Structure 1
Amino acid sequence: MLRWPYTFAVCLSLTVGAAAIYYSQTLDVGLKDPEGFLGPAYIRLPMIGLLIFAAGIVPQSIHRYGMRRFVPGMRTIVRDEWTLKRVGYVASGMLSFYICYVSYRNLKSYLPLLREDSLHDRQLLELDHLLFFGNNPAEVLHGVFGTSIMAQVLAVLYVLYLPIVPITVGAVLVLHRDFTVGAWYATAVSLNWVLGTVSYYALPTLGPAFYQPQSFYDLPENGASALQMSLFKGAFGFKENPQGENIFGIAGFASLHVSVVFTACLFLHYAGINRLVRSVAWTYLGFTILATLYLGWHYVADDVGGLLIGWLAVLIGAFVTGNTKRQKRKRLAEHDVPAVEPATRVVTTGPSI
């Protein structure tokens, strides 16, 4: 079990899941499925996996067997490459990811019940003003980029994060042939939820748009502002009736948007994924950091904390799934793999720990 790449992820999900259940019982607040409007998880998760599976296997079959024989070609690929072991690995990754995510959302929702009197927005806002020479970062960015087109662009990119996360996890799990690499990414993203929850309780904040909303009145209505209003209504409803259907979803430090996207960037880099994909990911990270400040989701310290969480998640994820350089060298040596070019490439990927 210690050499199974999902041992850590499964243990992590069981631990954080148990914590969510414990506080749910202690506070007498029922556990909620944060994305329940998309249907129950036992339908939603398999559907994501199946859609990505189809998106990967159909073009693969067409490439190998041509348009006339791609249907029987799909059956051949499934028979030859999709063993029960591979299916089990994919299921383990998605289930661990989902348990950590749902637990994170519920534990985040308990913040006002456990840490309501400990907000640190004023201190982080003062730090922002210090870093920007007495100015509010959001107002500086509004002056530089304007408050019309850029607001809409950044809002779309920011909200795009919501479907990107489960899709990228599913894509790596389903499409990558190295099971340990899929375990690495699923574990790293799951760690983001757990480390993010710890950061929320260590330094509770609301974020600029909720603490000082007047700084963002000049922005037009956009997808991000609609999401902020939805979170505000949900938070108000939760405070009125914690046992109701609402979930509290407001927390500033650290930025999980930044941490998860940074995790994806580092993972793509170390895993040696296509250079174009890596470039797009790094560009998206830049826009995400800009959006957090411009739209008022986070303070500068939140983004720095997010970068730290993302780095730790990738580092720990690589170690516990056997994807560091040292572990790969050892594994190749144990199997007496010749030092040919493909093997060399595998050895040289992964963090240097």
Structure 2
Amino acid sequence: MLRWPRAFLRWPYAFAFCLSVAVGATAIYFSHDLNVGLKDPEGFLGPAYIRLPLLGILLFLVGIVPQAIHRYGVKNTLSGVRTIVRNEWTLKRVAYAATGMVSFYVCYVSYRNLKSYLPELTNTIHDRALLQLDHVLFFGNNPAEVLHSVLGTTVAAQVLAVLYVLYLPVVPITVAAVLVLHRDVTVGAWYATAVSLNWVLGVVSYYSLPTLGPAFYEPQRFADLPENGATQLQMSLLRGAFGFKEDPQGDKIFGIAGFASLHVSVVFTLALFLHYAGIARAIRYTAWIYLGFTILATLYLGWHYIADDIGGLLIGWIAVAVGAWATGNTRWQKRRRLAAEKGTPEVEATPVS
């Protein structure tokens, strides 16, 4: 009777599965309680239930085809692909990758819906307090105005907007890439779990300290910025917010919330995960640089206050740490597993440093 529970707990996706079930059930409960139907938010390349499988298939081919060419030559690419799939892609590995994508998808959709219920459950916002904190941290100045003065409001606005909006495709692409391209299924589970945790912790932060964000609370401070991808996204969110308030049962989603910054938390999760997972140095450095630009963009474009970004960093760190523990990827767990494989006493494999 105890074998199945133990086997489930050893499954690297046990935590992500339970998390997705819990947050999905919570979203369903509030949807029923508020009489607001669940919505499937659309994003890059269409709905998530179409986008994720397509990305998985695409990245699967991207990972397999070069291997086949390298191992078997251009003329034997097709047969090489079949050989690699037959030898390396077991049903277990396919099931693990699919589980990671489904868990990510359920947590994301639940997060978007629970975020949308904010105006139905609370009317309090704390923007004034965070705005005052920004002035204290910037020695009496507004961070956005300082950045506009230093960087200008032309080229910098367009570049930072592109980098900020790039986040939308980066998230599903990186999840699919790690799940499909990394041979260690526990590493894929680690990243999928960490990103899923971002959505859940993000919702908790939204309800703990409801805010709108600088661009929505004081739009006049950002009136000099030229139209760009970020301002277009802000207007889209504003239209969605008005549409949701007018008709909560309609097809609009309320998507405005400042604290904490999920842009920062997810990008920090990516950079931290790549660092600890030992991914190629160039990729790791790119992620850290992208994080720096993301933080800069949140302040420059008026998406977040400084406290939002700090909260995002905290969420990202928690997500990576808990994800590593839940999937057996902490240093202690790896040393213990290695000791078990070698048949040596655990105390000898885990010396106190």
TM-score range, shorter chain: over 0.9
Structure 2 CA distance for aligned equivalents of residues 106 and 37 of structure 1:
18
Matches within 5 A, 1:194-233: 194-233=200-239
Structure 2 CA distance for aligned equivalents of residues 307 and 337 of structure 1:
39
SS, match of residue 41 in structure 2: coil
CA RMSD of aligned residues (A): 1.6
17, 24, 28: which is aligned to 1:17? Answer: 24
Structure 2 CA distance for aligned equivalents of residues 42 and 102 of structure 1:
10
Q: Which amino acid aligns with 2:122?
A: R
149, 152, 162: which is aligned to 2:155? Answer: 149
2:68 match: 61
* Identity in percent: 75
Structure 2 CA distance for aligned equivalents of residues 293 and 39 of structure 1:
29
The gaps in structure 1 that reach 5 residues or longer are: 339-343
Say whether residues 1:308 and 2:314 are aligned partners: yes
Displacement, 1:48? 1.3
Matches within 5 A, 1:29-48: 29-35=36-42, 38-48=45-55
Displacement, 1:44? 2.6
Q: Deviations over 1:89-148 (max 9, x none)?
A: 0000000000000000000000000012x1000000000011111111000000000000
Structure 1 CA distance for aligned equivalents of residues 313 and 44 of structure 2:
30
Change (3 A) 1:146 1:337: farther
SS, match of residue 195 in structure 1: helix
Change (3 A) 1:92 1:223: same
1:122 match: 128
Change (3 A) 1:125 1:24: same
Structure 2 CA distance for aligned equivalents of residues 221 and 40 of structure 1:
26
45, 50, 60: which is aligned to 2:57? Answer: 50
Q: Deviations over 1:167-187 (max 9, x none)?
A: 000000000011100000000
Displacement, 1:39? 4.2
1:89 match: 96
1:280 match: 286
208, 216, 241: which is aligned to 1:235? Answer: 241
Q: Which amino acid aligns with 1:48?
A: L
Displacement, 1:36? 6.7
Q: Deviations over 1:197-240 (max 9, x none)?
A: 00000000000000000000110000000000000000001000
Displacement, 1:43? 2.8
Structure 1 CA distance for aligned equivalents of residues 205 and 162 of structure 2:
26
1:73 match: 80
191, 196, 218: which is aligned to 1:190? Answer: 196
2:4 match: none
Displacement, 1:60? 1.1
Is the Cα–Cα contact under 8 Å of residues 43 and 168 in structure 2 kept in the other structure?
no
Q: Which amino acid aligns with 1:29?
A: V
1:257 match: 263
TM-score where L is the length of structure 1? 0.94
162, 167, 184: which is aligned to 1:161? Answer: 167
Structure 2 CA distance for aligned equivalents of residues 37 and 65 of structure 1:
35
Displacement, 1:45? 2.2
1:341 match: none
Change (3 A) 1:43 1:281: same
SS, match of residue 291 in structure 1: helix
SS, match of residue 253 in structure 1: coil
TM-score where L is the length of structure 2? 0.94
The gaps in structure 2 that reach 5 residues or longer are: 1-7
